[in-house]
Structure 1
Amino acid sequence: MVVSAKFVDNTHPISEMYVFGDSLSDAGMVFRATGGTYPPQPAYYQGRYSNGRVWVEYLSDRLHLTPKQTNNFAYGGAITGNVGNAYVPSLLAQVQSFTQTHQNTNPNSLYVLWAGANDYLQGVTNANIPVQNVTQAIASLSKVGAKKILVGNIPDLGQLPATRTNANSANLSTLTQEHNQGLRRSLKLLSQQNSNLEIVTFNANALYRDAIANPATFGFTNVSNPCLSGSNACGNPNQFLFWDAIHPTTAAHRIISDIAFSAIQEAGIVTPGVISQQSTHFSTMDY
């Protein structure tokens, strides 16, 4: 990953975090919206789409933020565009609800965006559309003063337990590649157009790829099957990459937080005062 040198001299700690996205970042929004019925307990942990906490919660810990300093707008099932429903606002709708009530933002806040997978899983075949939506979401945040942006690319959607053996697997893999390449180009252009923006990307795609190719490196013994089958869970979830047929285990979420933290650390967005010891297993940052 190439990081602009302008990040290196940043001496301000992150004071707040705002999260926008889908089920990979949802820490209970859909659960509360459905009166605690979905995702169902005890198969899922306290409204998370996993067996424990999700990556942004681990990242919050790494940044020494309190729960009051972490504001999570992510909804499971969210797509990037404006189409949504009463329970699940899209990425753009989440950002819009934030910008309407925050006309001036703290420049030392971190804004996290990770979305796009649901668009393709729900049938979108043009990668330009989700990429444009993510880019528009970042531009909207920048207009109210957001400066520090953390963006995730998407893992290979053709290699999920739910998709890898079906007829659409290869097409989903192609769309994933197109999305990630388009996202990289769009974020680079956005940074060039707005010198105040500090955009850092964490490479979820490479992490999943490396975990599937070298599971033992990450402490996994099973990277192809879900731990959860129906309502029955395996006895060793920490050794599984996937909790269900789509979502990672909390063990995988912890590793995702490691690479995200490493990315913002390399960018100079976090200072030595907030850097804790880390045990990341991940170094490859190519797309």
Structure 2
Amino acid sequence: MKTLTLPVSSVTNLFCKKVKQTFSVTLAFLLLVSATASASPISNLYIFGDSLSDPGALSYISPTNCPPAPYFDCRFSNGPVWVELLADDLGLSATSAFAGGTNYAIGGQRSDQVLDGQIPLFMNNTGGMADADGLYVIWAGGNDFLQNNPLGTYSPMNAVNNIIDSILNLSALGAVDFLIPNLPLADPWALAFNSALASGLNGLGNGLNITQLDMFSTFLDITLNPSDYALSNVSQPCISGGVVCTNPDDYLLWDAVHPTAVGHEIIAATALAALNVSEPAVLAIFAIGLAGLVRVRRKTLA
């Protein structure tokens, strides 16, 4: 099993702080090429999780529960979510499964709902077969944390077990490659979750390629060094009490629990840097979306 936790410094390099945009594009491309080897190309993204990865599922299954404007197109942010940006960079799609795509994430769902609802729906849609060349993304646990109570109904260990069982169920169908982020929270619940998740993933058998995406370290670095990411506010939400901040691109958080579009771009860039994609895929990114790496900062720095 391959387990990779991306150093934060590698992500920071992608943002090419304080340099001209053209040089940023070139350097990001060279960094990406240097990280690639003989990895197989990714055929599709198959995504499971909650609002952090939801590309608007509620607009198809429960439109009245979509977050209202200024939230973007039934997403829990002011723009596309990270898996949509990652898919775009890879020349793939992250369209909701409820619109015929391969993204099964639904805002508000816990890890048990991923295991007992999203995974079975995937199995039904695919006839019980998993694409061996696909990348399977599972980001869950946030709503277990938010919905937990003094009785400990949704414990960190239960959430981790649900994610591990989801991986095992998918691998039994033929899935091989997984991308598993942890939680970017410093709460004791989340810290216990992250520790147990790392241990659980490391304990899985050979034959699985698992990339552990360390969102905790990434968000900690953003918080400690916001200027490295051209952000000015990393502690307050952009939208509060229905009032929207003047410059959302300067904020890490859109609301109390969800990143801004720029925050999602940072997550997408982190994930892209962590993945070993094949050279043809890298060339495709250069041809159709290298500027997408620069969208991480929508400003041209003087």
- Corresponding residue SS for 2:73: coil
Q: Does 1:97 align with 2:97?
A: no
Q: Does 1:186 align with 2:200?
A: yes
1:95-132 C-alpha deviation (Å, 9 max, x unpaired): 12112332222211111000001111111643111000
Distance (Å, rounded) in 2 between the aligned partners of 1:280 and 1:33:
31
Query: In structure 1, what is the equivalent of residue 67 of structure 2?
Result: 40
Distance (Å, rounded) in 1 between the aligned partners of 2:179 and 2:220:
20
Within the candidate set 141, 144, 147, 1:119 is matched to 144
Change (3 A) 1:101 1:242: same
1:209 offset after TM fit, Å? Answer: 0.8
Distance (Å, rounded) in 2 between the aligned partners of 1:247 and 1:274:
30
Whether the 8 Å CA contact 2:47–2:137 is kept in 1: the answer is: yes
Whether the 8 Å CA contact 1:151–1:200 is kept in 2: the answer is: yes
1:33 offset after TM fit, Å? Answer: 1.8
Query: In structure 1, what is the equivalent of residue 76 of structure 2?
Result: 49
Query: In structure 1, what is the equivalent of residue 19 of structure 2?
Result: none
Whether the 8 Å CA contact 2:223–2:234 is kept in 1: the answer is: yes
Distance (Å, rounded) in 1 between the aligned partners of 2:178 and 2:278:
16
Distance (Å, rounded) in 1 between the aligned partners of 2:46 and 2:232:
34
Query: In structure 2, what is the equivalent of residue 12 of structure 1?
Result: 40
- Corresponding residue SS for 2:87: helix
1:258 offset after TM fit, Å? Answer: 0.7
Whether the 8 Å CA contact 1:222–1:240 is kept in 2: the answer is: yes
Query: In structure 2, what is the equivalent of residue 251 of structure 1?
Result: 262
1:75 offset after TM fit, Å? Answer: 0.6
TM-score (normalizing by structure 2): 0.76
Return the structure number with greater relative CO, CA threshold 8 A, min gap 6: 2
Matches within 5 A, 1:13-28: 13-28=41-56
More helix by share: 2
Q: Which amino acid aligns with 2:199?
A: R
1:41-60 C-alpha deviation (Å, 9 max, x unpaired): 32210011000000000000
Distance (Å, rounded) in 1 between the aligned partners of 2:248 and 2:115:
30
Q: Does 1:218 align with 2:229?
A: yes
Change (3 A) 1:70 1:279: farther
Distance (Å, rounded) in 1 between the aligned partners of 2:124 and 2:61:
21
Change (3 A) 1:67 1:182: closer
Whether the 8 Å CA contact 1:154–1:204 is kept in 2: the answer is: yes
Q: Name which of structure 1's ranges 118-127 and 224-233 shifts more when overlaid on structure 2.
A: 118-127
Q: Which amino acid aligns with 1:198?
A: N
1:241-273 C-alpha deviation (Å, 9 max, x unpaired): 0001110001010010011111113xxxx1122
Change (3 A) 1:46 1:8: closer
Identical columns (%): 35
Query: In structure 2, what is the equivalent of residue 274 of structure 1?
Result: 281
Query: In structure 2, what is the equivalent of residue 85 of structure 1?
Result: none
1:198-226 C-alpha deviation (Å, 9 max, x unpaired): 11111111111111111111111111111
TM-score (normalizing by structure 1): 0.80
Q: Which amino acid aligns with 1:77?
A: G
Q: Which amino acid aligns with 2:145?
A: Y
Matches within 5 A, 1:229-244: 229-244=240-255
Whether the 8 Å CA contact 1:18–1:72 is kept in 2: the answer is: yes
Whether the 8 Å CA contact 1:211–1:218 is kept in 2: the answer is: yes
Query: In structure 2, what is the equivalent of residue 228 of structure 1?
Result: 239
1:10 offset after TM fit, Å? Answer: 4.2
Within the candidate set 180, 190, 205, 1:176 is matched to 190
Structure 2 unaligned regions, length at least 5: 6-34, 297-302
1:136 offset after TM fit, Å? Answer: 0.3
Change (3 A) 1:57 1:67: closer
Change (3 A) 1:251 1:231: same
1:21 offset after TM fit, Å? Answer: 0.1
Runs (4+) off by over 6 Å = none
In the comparison of the two structures, how many residue pairs are matched?
A: 249
Q: Does 1:106 align with 2:135?
A: no
Query: In structure 2, what is the equivalent of residue 60 of structure 1?
Result: 87
Distance (Å, rounded) in 2 between the aligned partners of 1:50 and 1:58:
13
Whether the 8 Å CA contact 1:62–1:274 is kept in 2: the answer is: no
